[in-house]
């Protein structure tokens, strides 16, 4: 049972890391589009941008409603990145140890 718990928490941590990188890449891509370095008329750029928006949008939108842009800069991505990092560093290890303690899998 302990191996299953370790595996599940490994998968959750990996998915959170992928989400973290998707948010970073999405922010950088939006800046590149805003400064006209890359163009959304390029099919590959458009598909990557659409994919990243579909992945990160549902997570970022609730925070964008709460946190207003500061000088035209969207701070919701920074808040979400901090939350993801906090979950990875504090909540997941504590929860994993608690579950392992319950099943006796230290």
Query: Alpha-carbon distance 25 to 14, whole Å?
Result: 16
Give the domain extent around 13. 2-103
- Cβ(21)–Cβ(81) below 8 Å: no
- Cβ(74)–Cβ(66) below 8 Å: no
- The tens place of each residue's pLDDT in the chain, 106 residues long, gives 899 999 999 999 999 999 999 999 999 999 999 999 999 999 999 999 999 999 999 999 999 999 998 887 889 999 999 999 999 999 999 999 999 999 986 6
The structural domain count of the chain equals: 1
């Amino acid at each position: 049972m302990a191996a299953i718990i370790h595996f599940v928490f490994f998968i959750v941590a990996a998915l959170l890391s992928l989400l973290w990188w998707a948010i970073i890449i999405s922010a950088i891509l939006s800046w590149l589009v805003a400064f006209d370095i890359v163009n959304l008329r390029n099919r590959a750029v458009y598909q990557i941008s659409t994919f990243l928006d579909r992945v990160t949008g549902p997570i970022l939108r609730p925070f964008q409603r709460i946190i207003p842009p500061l000088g035209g800069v969207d701070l919701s991505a920074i808040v979400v990145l901090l939350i993801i990092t906090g979950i990875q560093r504090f909540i997941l290890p504590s929860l994993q140890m608690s579950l392992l303690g319950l099943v006796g899998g230290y």
